[in-house]
Structures are given as structure tokens and as C-alpha cells.
Amino acid sequence: MARLRPRLRGGLITLGVDMHLNARIRRTQRRERIMVAHPQRQPHERRPRSLGAGAGQAALFLAGLALAFSVLGLQTGIWAAPAFLPLYAWMAICALTRHTQRPAALTRLQARHRATALLVSAVILWLIWGVWAGPAHAAWQAAEGGVLPGGSSIALPKYPYAKVIGAAPLALILVSAWLLFMAMLALPGHPQVVQSTPRRSEK
């Protein structure tokens, strides 16, 4: 009986391995039959989002960002436009390509991790925004940005963005990059799909 135990154990292991391999072979064959019968159907394939859906998500994020600025009491206005230029450019690229352009690590985040990261990002934005907004707004007011006062019947606007950018350039880069990071974190999007050539059945 003692001599039969090693043989019995070896036979059970071999049987288990064979069953596992046979199951994998059956799954592969079933997948190949599906791909032959439906060449355009690929497993785990996701279509790129539509242009309307991407614009809706971008508008929703901008509305949420405006609400966050209001709740956190962050100073903003037309003078703050340089801080949002990279964000708008990125959104335009995403709309043209119909794909959320961002690092793969942000795409793989789960919903609860994404929400937590957004909450922490909003707190950090509240801490760093004033570092740039204070000097930038002061430069805008010193250059009399906005509508020019005067006795003329036509009031011409004045946008001294060069003064705003030069007020605190390093802080501007930090704030712009953080706003862009928050947008990449917030927008759901889908991984980019690479269309593969359908396989042809061999006759």
C-alpha cells in the first residue's frame, strides 16, 4: 500500500494537469470559432467614445471645477486664463482624437481611488492656487487689465497677459500642470482601441 501511494499521487497530479490543459485548449478553440464566425467581433474590444460624449464629459468637469473654485473661495477671473490654456488645449486634442490622452496608470484607476485622488487634488489646488493668483491678479490690476477707462465713447478692452505670466512664472507652471492632472484624473474615458485585421478561416 505504501508503494502505491506515490504512484497514485503522481497519477492524480497528471490527471489534474491534463484536465487544466484540455480546458484551456477548449477555450482557445471556442474563441477561434467565434472570431471566424464573426470577424468584426473582437474579445474585450471597446469602441472609442463619440465626440458628443467627450464634449459632455469635458463640460461636466469644467462645471465641477467652477463649483470647486466657488466652494473653496479661490480667486479667479478673465485674468486667470493663462493657467487654463494647457487644460483647454488638452481637451481639444482629446476631442479631436476621441480618446482621453493620459498615462495608462490614471486610466486603470478604480472609481473609489479616482474619487479619493480628486478630493486630495482639490485640497492641494486650494493650497497652491493663491501662490500664483495673488501676484497674477496684482499684475493685472497694476496694468489696468480689462476695459480701459476714459472719456471715449467706445471702451476698448486691455488684456496684459504678458504681465500676468511674468508675475510668477514658476507658480503658473505648477498651477497649470495641476489643473491638467486633475482633468486627466477626472475624465473617465476608455483605453485606445487598435483595430486588428480579422482572421480568415483556412479552407
Output the pLDDT for position 145.
77
What's the whole-number mean pLDDT along residues 183-187? Answer: 87
Domain ranges of the chain: 56-186
Output the pLDDT for position 201.
47
What's the whole-number mean pLDDT along residues 112-121? Answer: 90
Condensed to tens digits (0 to 9), the pLDDT of residues 98-108 reads 888 888 888 88
| C-beta separation of 33 from 193 below 8 A | no
pLDDT at 150 over 60: no
pLDDT at 35 over 80: no
pTM here is: 0.63
Element (H, E) at 28: helix 4-37
| C-beta separation of 64 from 186 below 8 A | yes
Residue 158's nearest CA partner among 142, 136, 134, 175 is 142
Residue 192's nearest CA partner among 79, 89, 63, 101 is 101
| SS3 label, residue 10 | helix
pLDDT at 186 over 90: no
Q: How confident is the model at residue 13 (pLDDT cuts 50, 70, 90)?
A: low
What's the whole-number mean pLDDT along residues 24-46? Answer: 63
